[in-house]
Amino acid sequence: MQVFLPRKEEMVLNYINKIISLFMTVFGTLGNMSVSVNYMFSWWGSPEKKPIHIILIHLAFTNILILLAKGLPKTILAFGLRNFLDDIGCKIIVYLERVARGLSICTSSLLTVVQAIIISPRASGWRRLKPKSAWHILLFFSFFWILNALISTNLIHSIKSASMNISQHINDENYCYFTLQNQDIKWIFLILMVLRDTVFQGAMGGASGYMVFLLHQHHQHVLNLLNSNLLYRTPPELRAAQSVLLLMLCFVFFYWTDCAFSLIINISSRDTSLMINTREFLTLGYATFSPFVLIHRDGLLSKIWHAHWEKLRKCL
């Protein structure tokens, strides 16, 4: 029996991939925790409960789920622990990751639509759709959780632990693998996922286009005021819309690049180690970098440090 050792290049590539996964998991989790805590304080400390804040809190929580379900096992593998999950552990981890990815799409779409409604003109009919209370958003969250939990149920029966049967084909994660499914059932769930992504990304694209149109109108209005030597400040709602648009660009980039790499990997017959590792980076990309988009655009870190500094000064 011959034993084929991995090439030196592959070993180096796998090591770099584990380091990147560790970096993205740790910093992404810290970034999302920072965002969620900041908006929680804003939520409880403000007399006006803004729907956008609770949506951003849910998006940050969803990102944390993705990072822990996808990145944490690979981070543990990076420290040399092998086959640490049994069948139940594999089912929970992979199922949570799939549900969280669906929640990320739905929540990002809801964020874009609500922000577009908020900045729409008062005379517009869209204004009537503005949530009367932030608690109404919880109804959407309940629907998102139920929808994505049902769409991902097929994974419960098809995920096994690699430690329980090492003779089976193990996927690139090295701790769980997929068993063969009934093709009819597989296609049903695949169609449901594609339909979900199409509907929510369609709503996201329409709302984003509408916001771009409104921001362009605002820009023309600002230019007219500057030409008239009048001082004008950008309303907070429009600054928030700019942040949401930047967040959606981040989502679209990572989502569609991930889809492209998945398609190439599936149709390629060559060794695709580099592409598989790149796809793993893209899978964690939005969950990792999206909180830092908000931190940069909204100046969250400066606000947090200023608040801590003021408390320290009062204590002294």
- Cα separation, 205 vs 92, whole angstroms: 32
pLDDT at 48: 67
Most confidently predicted of 13-17, 289-293, 311-315: 289-293
pLDDT at 1: 42
- Cα separation, 24 vs 18, whole angstroms: 10
Region of poorest pLDDT, from 41-45, 74-78, 165-169, 264-268:
165-169
Residue 168 pLDDT > 50:
no
Question: From start to end of 50-208, where are the E strands?
Answer: 159-161, 176-178
**Mean pLDDT score of the chain, rounded to an integer?**
78
Output the pTM of the full model: 0.83
Cα Dmax for the chain: 84
Unique residue bearing structure tokens 């889809």: 259
For residues 219-231, average pLDDT: 61
User: Is the model more confident about 296 or about 316?
Assistant: 296
Confidence of residue 79 (pLDDT cuts 50, 70, 90): low
Confidence of residue 42 (pLDDT cuts 50, 70, 90): confident
CATH class for the domain made up of 8-164+171-311? mainly alpha
Residue 142 pLDDT > 70:
yes
User: Is the model more confident about 283 or about 232?
Assistant: 283
Nearest to 276 by CA among 170, 152, 161, 155: 170
Nearest to 52 by CA among 140, 112, 128: 112
Output DSSP code: residue 182. Answer: -
Region of poorest pLDDT, from 137-146, 203-212, 259-268:
259-268
Residue 297 pLDDT > 50:
yes
